[in-house]
A and B are shown apart, each in its own frame.
Chain A
């Protein structure tokens, strides 16, 4: 008895895939006439695809919106965290920073060298920026006794 070696599934799969491929070059007229001949309404088919696309687009936009909202929330939290280091007056902050540099001089060397300035020449903006940088680096500690949190 001869053994059946044909791969029926693969053969049928190849026919189905080739039938689909043939649509890549089929004319609009051929597609429409085929549908009409089978008694189908092309408009109904088109409508179902349109709806499917609209749903996919809506889902995509909602996903992006959710991602943007999460990103925004995370940014807001970060900003609030940084804002907490701003003291009531810049003079207090200047005192706090001077005290910090006295206890941890290596930070003074690193940060001020990078900015090529002496502490006394720092502007108010520089002071705020330095404290924010130290906060981001996780190094900031108010050693002056001034309250620099929740202001």
Chain B
């Protein structure tokens, strides 16, 4: 067996060096950086519902720091540049961090700070409304559950006549991936992307999530 073969028989994956990671993050283009920003905000929005109020900037920085650590020692996250793009790698790291956020990213009482700004809604009449105030309760956890109910109702009401978006949401609820949903519904990637865009717009503008 060749020395550089892995146990599976394929060539051993080489982790990027510190210089390569530095060069990669400095070379990110505007669309790539904007995509990473949107991705981080999306992950942070989902975390808010669990009462884990971390900032998108912190998530982005943690992902890069972990990758830098991984480039110099047997710790952090290694970027295997021959297997995945740098953007794809950072998204994967952010996803992983968001699923188990480290304590240092969780500031005390952060969820209470985010609560107001994330939930406040502007009605079509231009009236600013906070659904939480309609469901007074004692615990922040209870508030988030009622908050989620109200938000879902807004989403469902908005898309009650939009079959594609409604079916995409159903697919996600059932754990289906984007390509699986596209295949099931017989829609093109462009149609899927357009529907997701409508949904994201609603989440952002009606639910006031900073996506």
Residues of A near any B CB (own CB < 8 A) = 6, 8-9, 11-32, 34-35, 38, 42-43, 45-46, 48-50, 52-53, 55-57, 59-60, 64
Contact = CB atoms under 8 A, between A and B. Distances in A.
B164 interface: no
Given A20-B45, A34-B197, 14 more contacts: A9-B148, A19-B42, A21-B177, A24-B88, A25-B178, A25-B189, A31-B35, A45-B33, A45-B34, A46-B37, A49-B36, A49-B60, A56-B62, A56-B65
A21 B178 contact: yes
B201 A38 contact: yes
B152 A53 contact: no
B32 A19 contact: no
Interface of B: 22, 25, 28-39, 42-43, 45-46, 49-50, 57, 60-62, 64-65, 68-69, 72, 88, 91, 95, 144-145, 148-149, 151-152, 155, 169, 172-173, 177-179, 189, 193, 196-197, 199-201, 203-205, 209, 211
Nearest to B174: A14
Contacts of B50: 9, 13
Going nearest first, the 8 A-B pairs with the smallest beta carbon separation are: A20-B42, A28-B31, A46-B33, A56-B61, A16-B46, A18-B172, A8-B148, A9-B148
Given A15-B155, A24-B88, A56 B42 contact: no
B121 to A, nearest CB: 14
B152 A8 contact: yes
B46 A53 contact: no
Contact of B37 (A9, A19, A22, A48): A48
B162 to A, nearest CB: 14
A63 to B, nearest CB: 9
Contacts of B145: 8-9
B34 A42 contact: yes
Contacts of A60: 65, 68-69
B35 A23 contact: yes
- B contacts with A: majority SS: helix
Contacts of A22: 178, 193, 196
B33 A49 contact: yes
9 contacts: A11-B148, A19-B199, A19-B203, A19-B211, A20-B46, A30-B193, A48-B57, A53-B28, A59-B65
A15 B198 CA distance: 13
A26 B192 CA distance: 10
A116 B17 CA distance: 45
A29 to B, nearest CB: 8
Most chain B C-beta atoms within 10 Å of own C-beta, residue among A12, A15, A29: A12
Contacts of B201: 38
Given A13-B49, A16-B42, A57-B68, A49 B37 contact: yes
Nearest to A21: B178
A90 B146 CA distance: 83
A23 B169 contact: no
B42 A46 contact: no
A31 B32 CA distance: 9
Given A55-B61, A57-B68, A11 B173 contact: yes
Nearest to A51: B57
Contacts of A45: 33-34, 37-38
A20 B43 contact: yes
Contacts of A43: 30
